[in-house]
Structure 1
Amino acid sequence: MSDDHAEAKRARSRKKLQAAGKVPFGLGEIKPRHYLEMLRIGWRNRRHPGYAWKVLTQGVCDGCALGTTGLRDWTIDGTHLCLVRLNLLELNTMDGFDPALLADVSSLPAKRPAKLRDLGRLAHPMRRRAGEPGFTRVSWDEAMADLGARIGAADPDRIACYMTSRGITNEVYYAAQKAWRALGSPHIDNAARLCHSPSTAAMKQTLGVAASTCSYRDWYHADVVVFFGSNPANDQPVALKYLYEAKKRGARVLVVNTYQEPGLERYWIPSNVDSALFGTRIADGFFPVSAGGDLAFVYAVQKRLIERGGVDQAFIDEHTSGWDDYVAHLEQYSMDELMRRAGVREQDVDALAEELLQARTGVFVWSMGLTQHGHGSDTVASVCCLGLSKGFLGREGCGLMPIRGHSGVQGGAEMGAYATTFPGGRPLTDDSAAELAELWGFTPPAREGLDTVSMLRAAEAGGLDVLYSVGGNFVDTLPQPERIERAVENVPVRIHQDIVLTPPMLLEPKDVVYLLPARTRYESEGGATETTTERRVIYSPHIPGHDVGEAREEWRIVLDLARAAKPDMAEFLDFPDAAAIRADIARTIPVYADIVGLDKQGDAFQWGGPHLCEGGECPLPGGRARFVTAEPPDRSLGEGEFHVATRRGKQFNSIIHREHDHLTGADRDHVFMSPEDITRLGLRQDQAIVLRSAHGEMRGRVFSAPITPGNLQVHWPEANVLLDAERIDPGGRVPDYNVVARIEVGSSTTPKS
């Protein structure tokens, strides 16, 4: 950063941030009720307040992937405690339920996940066979003997393992993928396949890396921080403290989104005195696009930057390839055509281009608003290319960041719990398999496995004999839930390993269903690690004092199961403790070499350092990043049609905490709709409507919101009934969580929501 540029930023940082309002604490505003909600959470954890406090002050957050350890992190001084973490706290303090409750599952609220969670923790191994009304408690030895015999007799190509993001740690992901490959099966995948796998595909293609190229502290040194399809106010609330500090230092926060998220417009940060009192204006600019129109919008902005000489030609010439072909591709599209496909106004294209033209440093941040489309990988690649054109790579204040909403998914793929790569991102080749054989003592299958969607398709077609779910709730997370139920019920042997009950556990067994009780990360002896969005590997210590029944460490369960299935492979899966797993991780994944030194609270390291692609050098041929091209989708609508996007409310993944979202003022059945469209159709606030797509229908109520006309947003997972189960992003293999639908007035006679 030049002296003039640094001085300009220091001058801006002396300005006071704009308050959100004049009323103390935002009384009367639509906003989170932080302090009131904290009191409610305290009451719900009243049975074990001491243990709850230990989890908060000693453990690494099992919510989003910011990596708060205890009440502190590596980005900013002070105490950090958000409602995402607090709302998950009860899962770590509740007691086990009486196994007799499962004797007849017909009495349980099978379609209501929250009611199932409220029963308490799963405390004992349980079994239900075909024709039985419910589950019977069994011993671990009995469960392992039966499951071991069944898995051992199965064709390895007909067994599959899926791993969720529910607080699962690197040790569990690594042990599971190694065990599954020792069984001869390549069919292991994780929850990244439902969110950020398009980011992995696009970043590997353009940059040669599959993780954030920068750190959160780079926000402080950026001229602009641009959010694409991301809402950290809801998903990573502590990140709002980072933005507050970044704005104090002169950064401008820009948001490209279909909906003008209230939490990014203004937010009351409870641990900042001035912000807690009067709130803070967060976003300096909103740029509304049509759902799925981001790729065309990015191309339009890129064209304008080129026209105005706003690219870093020296960086492009020295550190990239494919620029001329990229420019030629952009020239195929007129500005009017790109704006039509994006659903944007020219003034917004010009405004964002001008912001980027003036910026010498910048960080681009994105999330599922980009990735969960049929063209998600192409869109992420376009954002990466826009960043490359500005030289926003490998230096302070610059970076490309796929911000993670769950604590496990970054590490899950890096550990190798992924159908399309080996640990450490090794390609699925014979050479890689031979390299792993030298390390492991056995040769893993070097073929691509079934990804998450393909697992369920195989189950539906009768192609699976065993489905092992380490956490996860397919019924509430994938499109077309009724179809998913049929697919799950079609698997002869189902294993559900979890801490609480979920709806898929209660589906009818074709042959047998086992429930295996797991410990949380905090209950796991030997501690555990997670990898954050910024590639920081953090140790979370064992916190004794809360053992639930016969629950076991998750890594121990999967290893015991594999050894029972293939006793001849036991010597290759001999991990006496969590430290031994970390030692094997260090041997197998070079960038994780320092994981062996993590053994107490606060221990951490950042693989790759603060910046990947330091100085613009990428791990691609010639050290050069690549410009790549794609066809911006034509999102034209027919008469009476709307683009429908799914969104999150007061929830964590599919765990819904409250029916009402204080951040937006909406209830779960509200359909976000622009005032222009409400007026045009003669509708009114809260009027009952039906959304009907080619794949299903759901009831809802009109909710007026600052959303791009021609677009609707509805809460997920309720809207899964509308989605096209066959539409998948080819790069990341994520389902498209968007659809085209029509509005009908009145209630449906055959509701599916």
Structure 2
Amino acid sequence: MAYTRLTTPLVRDGGELRPASWDEALDRAAEGIAETVRERGADAFGMFSCARSTNEMNYVAQKFARAVIGTNNVDSCNRTCHAPSVAGLAQVFGSGGGTSSYQEIEDADLIVLWGSNAREAHPIFFHHVLKAVRRGARLFVVDPRRTSTAQWADRWLQLDVGTDIALAHAVARQIIASGLVNRTFIDRATEGFDDYAADVAKWTPEVAALETGVPAELIEELAHAYANADRAQLCWTLGITEHHNGTDNVLALINLALLTGHVGRYGSGLNPLRGQNNVQGGGDMGAIPNRLPGFQDILLPEVREKFDRSWGSAIPPRYGWHLTQMFEAMDRGELTAVYAIGENPVQSEADSGRTRKRMENLRHLVVQDIFLTKTAELAHVVLPATAAWCESEGTFTNSERRVQRVRKALDAPEGARDDIDILCELARRLGHDWHYDRAEAVWDEMRALSPMHAGMTYQRLADLGGIQWPCPTEDGLEPSYLHSRLWADDPAERGDPAPFVVVEHRRPVDELTAEFPLRLTTGRRLDSYNTGVQSGGFSSPLRRGETLDLNPADAEALGLVAGERARITSRRGSIVAPVRLDPGLRPGLAFMTFHFPDEVDVNSITIEATDPVAGTAEYKASAIRVDRIGDAEPAA
């Protein structure tokens, strides 16, 4: 489906969206928000910010929620993908960013890609991996599928979906049993090792092989390779995080780095790979419910006071609801108004049918976007924005924490307005006289409040081609890697030790049964992007549309052939898609994407079970059955 660019505001009258002037649309949006706050309180409002928009836009969006509305209910698609990474890294190290630079990936001796099809989902990052491989680095890939990334690996560990903790524990147990731990680093920089070692002791390679499906000898080989490498990078993506225990999965990987000292020094690190261009930056800017810009904790009085003085506001001294909690609050009738910028939750959230009903029941929904998405179709007010990257001035922050300038290359279509200008217009209608004459003014306000960005002037960003945070001063640069303090000789310089965290292996929530005997996992493909809004509507030899990928043995047992359409059913509903045979899938495992929801709404059958810490849904492990479509049964 091809989406047409929005150029005219829309408002809902009589159940239908109609064109409106900008003044009418902004007045309607502001009136609905003001009525919600007046009648139900500030926490009846929620802000969905955009991980594809600039840092500056995300800063102004979270400021709007906090300073104008008076709520910390602000979040973004970070919740859908890497909130467990942020939670795990922050719990152990105090900050939620990847620890290394891309150059360090190239200089590594060993790279482990765990739950990451980086060649298709993160092709720019994978370019750096290939440079390392061609230089002689070894590549281990841990993935249930033999992806195009796994095809480049020295070793591919094909584990069963949802058994990552069991595998990580077995690798740790083998490192400990073989005497390969970095005892100096453990004694100097960590705590909790003895309890952790006792907990993983039962996970011998043989026991783990039975649980994970990975041969014992490959578990042993990964353990020895990782422990013996001088420079080792452990990287992961949604195969680790999109589980009901995603944060525990991340902590299990962090434990491996603590065992071996592969963190806090050049060439060794822990790196969650971000999928959208500014997922890292959105969180950095405070578009999350528990942190202000620069990951400063809202609960600290001195932090709130600093922002209150700057903004002339009173930030609530409590955490807001994250995205998942906002949906739960909609169920209870406690959250009734949403302002969504560049987000399409009606198609991107797990159990999307349930999400749609929630959004339909909102008393006031404002959507600011460049296309009329399925979410925008439900809105009471639609505001056409210039969120396209080539139409914006500002900065983005990538997976290596590098802040880079982006410059306007094209004019937006006539009728669309700049995202920040729209937010300022709404703020003025709600009693706050905001004026930002350029993106740099927003950036300078933010970096005056965020110590880790303080030294990043636009001029320095341009001169240096980008700067990794932290950068606290304008006359120097920090190392490219984080947490070097852990290696300091002086205990005072080392600060708090990094804790080993004991986590328990737990199988997926959606159980396999005789009725639902197959495991469905979801992911991305190189040729498409997210819910297809931006990548739909064009033809390419690469694009094949949505398919149900099955192991040939499973297809044969079901009486299915390649290209035949089949019905896929979960406990939440059913969809229809053509079958594609993939010998890289182990028997019992199926794969689909979420790129074509207008034709095949895969997320209508995924499970909404969420991680209790991060709120991320278990997209990677739904139980399904697959049936042939009989001649008498309609195909859709």
Query: After TM superposition, is the score higher than 0.5?
Result: yes
1:546 match? 411
The alignment yields a C-alpha RMSD, in angstroms, of: 2.7
Deviates more, 1:435-444 or 1:533-542: 435-444
1:746 aligns with 2:612: no
How far apart, in 1, do the equivalents of 2:632 and 2:256 lie?
48
Structure 1 residue aligned with 2:65, among 173, 180, 183?
A: 180
Residue 153 and residue 613 in structure 1: after superposition, are their counterparts in 2 closer, same or farther (change >3 A)?
same
1:149 aligns with 2:48: no
Residue 497 and residue 390 in structure 1: after superposition, are their counterparts in 2 closer, same or farther (change >3 A)?
same
Residue 694 and residue 499 in structure 1: after superposition, are their counterparts in 2 closer, same or farther (change >3 A)?
same
1:238 aligns with 2:124: yes
1:91 match? none
How far apart, in 2, do the equivalents of 1:740 and 1:292 lie?
12
How far apart, in 2, do the equivalents of 1:611 and 1:145 lie?
47
1:124 aligns with 2:4: no
Structure 2 residue aligned with 1:530, among 384, 396, 399?
A: 396
Q: Deviations over 1:264-321 (max 9, x none)?
A: 41xxxxxxxxxxxxxxxx3211110111111111111111111112221211111111
How far apart, in 1, do the equivalents of 2:103 and 2:634 lie?
48
Residue 684 and residue 740 in structure 1: after superposition, are their counterparts in 2 closer, same or farther (change >3 A)?
same
Alignment of 1:276-287 (within 5 A): 282-287=152-157
| Pairwise CA distance, 1:690 | 2.6
Residue 196 and residue 620 in structure 1: after superposition, are their counterparts in 2 closer, same or farther (change >3 A)?
farther
Structure 1 residue aligned with 2:523, among 643, 647, 659?
A: 647
1:590 match? 451
1:163 match? 49
Structure 2 residue aligned with 1:403, among 273, 278, 295?
A: 273
| Pairwise CA distance, 1:748 | 10
Residue 479 and residue 703 in structure 1: after superposition, are their counterparts in 2 closer, same or farther (change >3 A)?
same
Unaligned runs of 5+ in 2: 471-478
Q: Which residue identity is paired with 2:468? A: Q
| Pairwise CA distance, 1:325 | 0.8
1:441 match? 312
Structure 2 residue aligned with 1:494, among 365, 383, 404?
A: 365
Residue 144 and residue 319 in structure 1: after superposition, are their counterparts in 2 closer, same or farther (change >3 A)?
same
Alignment of 1:90-489 (within 5 A): 114-115=1-2, 117=3, 119=4, 121-132=5-16, 134-138=17-21, 140-155=22-37, 156-166=42-52, 168-182=53-67, 183-265=69-151, 282-333=152-203, 335-429=205-299, 431=301, 432-489=303-360
| Pairwise CA distance, 1:184 | 0.7
1:671 aligns with 2:543: no
* Secondary structure, aligned partner of 1:444: coil
How far apart, in 1, do the equivalents of 2:51 and 2:270 lie?
22
1:581 match? 442
1:604 aligns with 2:466: yes
* Secondary structure, aligned partner of 2:111: strand
1:703 match? 581
1:3 match? none
Identity of counterpart residues, as a percentage? 28
1:688 touches 1:746 (CA, 8 Å); kept in 2? yes
Residue 634 and residue 151 in structure 1: after superposition, are their counterparts in 2 closer, same or farther (change >3 A)?
closer
Unaligned runs of 5+ in 1: 1-113, 266-281
How far apart, in 1, do the equivalents of 2:86 and 2:313 lie?
28
* TM-score, with structure 1 as normaliser: 0.76
1:180 touches 1:562 (CA, 8 Å); kept in 2? no
1:735 match? 617
How far apart, in 1, do the equivalents of 2:202 and 2:543 lie?
42
Q: Deviations over 1:466-516 (max 9, x none)?
A: 211101111110122222222111112221111122112223x6xx33333
How far apart, in 1, do the equivalents of 2:181 and 2:217 lie?
20
How far apart, in 2, do the equivalents of 1:256 and 1:125 lie?
47
How far apart, in 2, do the equivalents of 1:131 and 1:532 lie?
41
Q: Deviations over 1:162-220 (max 9, x none)?
A: 01323x00000001111210121211111101100000001111222210111011112
| Pairwise CA distance, 1:460 | 4.1
Alignment of 1:16-27 (within 5 A): none
1:630 aligns with 2:483: no
* Secondary structure, aligned partner of 1:594: coil
* TM-score, with structure 2 as normaliser: 0.89
1:414 touches 1:423 (CA, 8 Å); kept in 2? yes
| Pairwise CA distance, 1:521 | 3.7
Alignment of 1:40-51 (within 5 A): none
| Pairwise CA distance, 1:428 | 2.6
Alignment of 1:721-732 (within 5 A): 721-725=604-608, 727-732=609-614
How far apart, in 2, do the equivalents of 1:620 and 1:426 lie?
21
* Secondary structure, aligned partner of 1:714: strand
| Pairwise CA distance, 1:123 | 1.4
Residue 461 and residue 559 in structure 1: after superposition, are their counterparts in 2 closer, same or farther (change >3 A)?
same
Q: Which residue identity is paired with 2:613? A: G
Q: Which residue identity is paired with 2:519? A: H
How far apart, in 2, do the equivalents of 1:195 and 1:751 lie?
35
* Secondary structure, aligned partner of 1:479: coil
2:475 match? none
Q: Deviations over 1:128-147 (max 9, x none)?
A: 22334x31221x22322332
| Pairwise CA distance, 1:347 | 2.5
How far apart, in 1, do the equivalents of 2:244 and 2:502 lie?
16
Deviates more, 1:627-636 or 1:473-482: 627-636
How far apart, in 1, do the equivalents of 2:349 and 2:106 lie?
37
Deviates more, 1:404-413 or 1:438-447: 438-447
| Pairwise CA distance, 1:678 | 4.0
* Secondary structure, aligned partner of 1:143: helix
How far apart, in 1, do the equivalents of 2:317 and 2:390 lie?
35
How far apart, in 2, do the equivalents of 1:390 and 1:514 lie?
52
Residue 494 and residue 749 in structure 1: after superposition, are their counterparts in 2 closer, same or farther (change >3 A)?
farther
* Secondary structure, aligned partner of 1:222: coil
Q: Which residue identity is paired with 1:368? A: L
Residue 211 and residue 127 in structure 1: after superposition, are their counterparts in 2 closer, same or farther (change >3 A)?
same
Q: Deviations over 1:387-426 (max 9, x none)?
A: 2211111212111000111111101011111112222112
* Secondary structure, aligned partner of 1:356: helix
1:721 touches 1:752 (CA, 8 Å); kept in 2? no
* Secondary structure, aligned partner of 2:372: coil
How far apart, in 1, do the equivalents of 2:340 and 2:178 lie?
53
1:688 touches 1:702 (CA, 8 Å); kept in 2? no
Residue 323 and residue 430 in structure 1: after superposition, are their counterparts in 2 closer, same or farther (change >3 A)?
closer
Q: Deviations over 1:438-484 (max 9, x none)?
A: 33332211222221122233334433332111011111101222222
2:173 touches 2:204 (CA, 8 Å); kept in 1? no
1:557 match? 422
Residue 547 and residue 691 in structure 1: after superposition, are their counterparts in 2 closer, same or farther (change >3 A)?
closer
| Number of residue pairs matched by the alignment | 606
Deviates more, 1:709-718 or 1:668-677: 668-677
Residue 731 and residue 747 in structure 1: after superposition, are their counterparts in 2 closer, same or farther (change >3 A)?
farther
How far apart, in 1, do the equivalents of 2:588 and 2:436 lie?
56
Deviates more, 1:631-640 or 1:359-368: 631-640
* Secondary structure, aligned partner of 2:156: strand
How far apart, in 2, do the equivalents of 1:750 and 1:390 lie?
57
2:570 match? 693
